[in-house]
């Protein structure tokens, strides 16, 4: 960074946030700048910038420091000499292939003990700069040459093997809110304790909006070690910051916050053994509001227009912050049984909506499956797409197909949105879809596209290409063949069909990589 750019940065951020770095120059120009009075920082900055700007207009070039000579890159252990057809395939994939296909290419290379050809390293490093999701798959195949190359370009520093210096990082000190959030997200995966310290120091001075945003960054790497900071934030002046802290604490079953909520609901649940009926579970909400509840953001007055009564409102707020596991262990009922029990209760709305809110945060697979197998309570933020993402992949496929078929029968656009979200939820390193699921989707989609009822469904075009990236090898031909492009109904999908064919050909080529 030259002297004029450094001064401009100080002026933009404010000299109280970033004091100017006064240029140290030799000769008459240096003497002139040194003699400018600096009792008023802002005035001195403008005068210095004016002098340097005039010199630049006159053609003056500041002295350039001689760059340090970088050591040559080593060869490393990866094999970089690939067959010409594999190099061409990799080049095409990096040029315009879907991110999921790029991730598969990197995984195939790593499994074969190969590295990226040297000429493709810049393009691959650029891809990793744009997509953090690609980085775990890219880094194992760049080799020592790629790490050396990354060290020469700040934009590729993520691949240079360096660590984050949070004590003096300029992004944290002077960056925008979005830049600081990205910095914190990266630091939380590397040093969560240091990131927590930075957030704790920042919330003491930042605005309500920034405090809330920084607290939300603790989502990455959230652990019980964060609870002291989050507990302190429950008393923040900003309602949004308090709510963000409460949500994070509600994601930690072992937190003191959730223990307090469990202690509040415990007296409400009665277990009674009755002759011939076994154990009967009954529930009676709190009879009165306690002042201490306010400290944990339990509000006394229910929102206007809410159908719940006052006591149900209190119960709902407590239930949504109780660990779902507690209900199972305390009542000896499984999630599906608990949902059935709640539906017969006088307090079903408070229970079902509270459990739905808890599931949205705690993401328990047994509860997700139970909710998917019944009617999701109205008035909750929970939806089938969120529930699907809480399930392991085999169960996710099973419930997705049921939802997909139901949506297809009612409204085509709804099923396309569901397919898009389902595909996006599959991790890049997940195995291909099961043959049964892939066959079903191939049959249904070909029928819908060929029937013309999705002619204007633009999202489905992208989903077809994405689906080609997760198909099992056995279904490549079934999916690629049989598209009759002479039919008017298929013409809007001609480009997508051509792309999915290319993707499948590229995947075939990747499968031939050998160690």
Q: Tell me, yes or no, whether 164 lies in a domain.
A: no
Q: Tell me, yes or no, whether 515 lies in a domain.
A: no
**Do 202 and 283 belong to one domain?**
no
Strand partners, 23: none
Q: Tell me, yes or no, whether 67 lies in a domain.
A: no
Q: Are 10 and 45 within 8 A, CB to CB?
A: yes
Length of the chain: 515
Number of separate helices (H) and strands (E) present in the chain: 27, 2
Positions of E strands within 307-353: none
State CA 60 to chain mean position distance: 48
**Cα–Cα distances in angstroms (integers) from residue 129 to residues 155, 181, 337, 414, 459, in the given order:** 7, 16, 48, 33, 26
Domain boundary among 324, 348, 380: 380
**Cα–Cα distances in angstroms (integers) from residue 99 to residues 124, 137, 466, in the given order:** 11, 11, 9
**Do 114 and 209 belong to one domain?**
no
Q: Are 261 and 318 within 8 A, CB to CB?
A: yes
Q: What pLDDT is attached to residue 314? A: 96
Q: Are 238 and 211 within 8 A, CB to CB?
A: yes
**Do 118 and 183 belong to one domain?**
no
Strand partners, 279: 273
DSSP 8-state code for residue 16:
T
Question: Mind listing the pLDDT tens digit of every residue in the chain (515 residues)?
Answer: 567 777 887 887 777 777 888 888 888 888 888 888 888 888 888 988 888 888 878 777 666 545 444 555 555 667 778 889 999 999 999 999 999 999 999 999 999 999 999 999 999 999 999 998 999 999 999 988 898 998 888 788 888 864 454 445 677 877 778 878 878 888 888 889 999 999 999 988 899 999 999 999 999 999 999 999 999 999 999 999 999 999 999 999 999 999 999 999 999 999 888 766 678 899 999 999 999 999 999 999 998 888 889 999 999 999 999 999 999 999 999 999 999 999 999 999 999 999 999 998 898 999 999 998 887 666 666 778 888 888 888 889 999 998 888 887 776 556 788 899 899 989 999 999 999 999 999 999 998 888 877 777 888 899 999 999 999 999 999 999 989 888 888 899 999 999 999 999 999 999 999 86
Where b means 16+ CB within 10 Å and e means fewer, 72-84 reads ebeeeebebebee
Q: What pTM was estimated for this model as a whole?
A: 0.72
**Do 411 and 489 belong to one domain?**
yes
Separation of alpha carbons 178 and 171, rounded Å:
10
**Cα–Cα distances in angstroms (integers) from residue 379 to residues 56, 217, 375, in the given order:** 64, 28, 12
Cα(first)–Cα(last) distance of the chain, in Å? 45
Q: CA angle at residue 83 from 79 to 89, to 5 degrees? A: 105
**Do 496 and 417 belong to one domain?**
yes
**Do 400 and 369 belong to one domain?**
no
Helix (H, G, I), strand (E, B) or coil at 237: coil
**Do 403 and 471 belong to one domain?**
yes
Q: Looking at the 3D structure of the chain, how many domains does it have? A: 5
Phi, psi dihedrals of residue 490, rounded to the nearest 5°: -95, -15
**Cα–Cα distances in angstroms (integers) from residue 515 to residues 94, 105, 326, 340, in the given order:** 21, 14, 50, 54
CB atoms within 10 A of CB 199: 23
Candidates 382, 373, 319, 380; CA nearest to 345 is 319
State CA 387 to chain mean position distance: 16
Domain boundary among 192, 217, 249: 249
Q: Tell me, yes or no, whether 263 lies in a domain.
A: no
The H-or-E segment that residue 413 falls in is helix 412-425
Q: What is the DSSP string of 165-211?
A: -TTT-HHHHH--HHHHHHHHHHHHHH-HHHHHHHHHHHTTTS-HHHH
Separation of alpha carbons 258 and 244, rounded Å:
15
Helix (H, G, I), strand (E, B) or coil at 269: strand
Q: Which residues, at least 6 apart from 55, have a Cβ–Cβ distance to it below 8 Å? A: 29
Reading phi first (left if > 0) and then psi (alpha if -120 to 50, else beta), residue 460 is in alpha
Q: Tell me, yes or no, whether 356 lies in a domain.
A: yes
Positions of E strands within 256-369: 269-274, 278-283
**Do 234 and 279 belong to one domain?**
no
Q: Using CA of residue 103, residue 104, residue 107, residue 108, what is the dihedral sign?
A: negative
Q: Tell me, yes or no, whether 79 lies in a domain.
A: no
Q: What pLDDT is attached to residue 171? A: 73
**Do 335 and 366 belong to one domain?**
yes
**Do 179 and 230 belong to one domain?**
yes
Separation of alpha carbons 147 and 336, rounded Å:
51
**Do 211 and 280 belong to one domain?**
no
The H-or-E segment that residue 361 falls in is helix 348-362
Residue with the two structure tokens 């929102």: 303
Q: Tell me, yes or no, whether 291 lies in a domain.
A: yes
Separation of alpha carbons 131 and 143, rounded Å:
19
Q: What is the 3-state secondary structure (H, E, C) of 457-506?
A: CHHHHHHHHHHHCCCCHHHHHHHHCCCCCCCHHHHHHHHHHHHHHHHHHH
Q: Tell me, yes or no, whether 385 lies in a domain.
A: no
**Do 176 and 149 belong to one domain?**
no
Domain boundary among 103, 137, 159: 159
In terms of residue numbers, what domain contains 425?
393-510
């Amino acid at each position: 960074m030259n002297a004029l750019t450094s001064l401009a940065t100080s002026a933009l951020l404010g000299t109280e946030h970033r004091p100017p770095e006064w240029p140290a120059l030799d000769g008459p120009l240096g003497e002139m700048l040194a003699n400018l009075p600096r009792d008023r920082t802002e005035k001195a900055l403008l005068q210095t910038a004016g002098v340097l700007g005039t010199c630049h207009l006159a053609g003056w070039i500041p002295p350039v420091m001689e760059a340090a000579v970088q050591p040559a890159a080593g060869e490393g252990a990866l094999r970089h000499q690939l067959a010409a057809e594999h190099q061409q395939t990799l080049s095409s994939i990096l040029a315009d292939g879907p991110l999921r296909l790029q991730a598969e290419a990197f995984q195939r290379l790593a499994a074969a003990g190969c590295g990226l050809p040297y000429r493709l390293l810049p393009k691959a490093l650029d891809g990793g700069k744009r997509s953090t999701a690609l980085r775990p798959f890219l880094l194992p195949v760049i080799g020592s040459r790629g790490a050396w190359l990354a060290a020469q370009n700040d934009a590729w520093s993520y691949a240079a093997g360096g660590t984050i210096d949070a004590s003096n990082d300029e992004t944290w000190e002077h960056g925008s809110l979005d830049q600081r959030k990205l910095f914190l997200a990266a630091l939380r995966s590397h040093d969560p304790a240091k990131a927590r310290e930075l957030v704790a120091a920042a919330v003491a001075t930042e605005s309500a909006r920034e405090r809330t945003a920084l607290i939300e960054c603790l989502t990455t790497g959230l652990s019980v070690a964060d609870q002291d900071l989050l507990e302190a934030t429950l008393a923040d002046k900003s309602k949004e910051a308090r709510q963000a802290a409460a949500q994070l604490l509600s994601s930690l079953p072992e937190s003191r916050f959730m223990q307090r909520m469990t202690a509040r609901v415990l007296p409400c649940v009665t277990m009674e053994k009755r002759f011939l009926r076994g154990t009967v579970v009954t529930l009676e909400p709190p009879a009165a509001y306690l002042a201490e509840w306010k400290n944990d953001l339990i509000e006394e007055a229910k929102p206007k227009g809410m159908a719940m009564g006052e006591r149900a409102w209190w119960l709902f707020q407590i239930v949504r912050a109780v660990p779902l596991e507690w209900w199972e262990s305390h009542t000896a009922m499984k999630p599906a049984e608990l949902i059935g029990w709640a539906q017969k209760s006088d307090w079903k709305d408070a229970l079902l909506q509270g459990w739905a809110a808890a599931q949205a945060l705690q993401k328990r697979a047994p509860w997700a499956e139970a909710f998917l197998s019944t009617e999701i309570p109205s008035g909750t933020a929970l939806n089938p797409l969120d529930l699907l993402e809480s399930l392991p992949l085999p169960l996710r496929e099973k419930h997705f197909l049921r939802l997909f078929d139901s949506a297809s029968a009612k409204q085509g656009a709804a099923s396309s949105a569901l397919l898009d979200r389902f595909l996006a939820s599959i991790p890049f390193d997940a195995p291909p879809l099961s043959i049964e699921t892939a066959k079903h989707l191939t049959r249904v989609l070909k029928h819908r596209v060929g029937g013309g009822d999705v002619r204007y469904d633009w999202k489905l075009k992208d989903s077809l290409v994405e689906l080609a990236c997760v198909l099992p090898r056995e279904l490549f031909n079934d999916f690629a063949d049989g598209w009759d492009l002479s039919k008017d109904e298929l013409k809007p999908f001609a480009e997508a069909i051509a792309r999915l064919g290319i993707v499948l050909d590229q995947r075939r080529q990747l499968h031939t990589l050998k160690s």
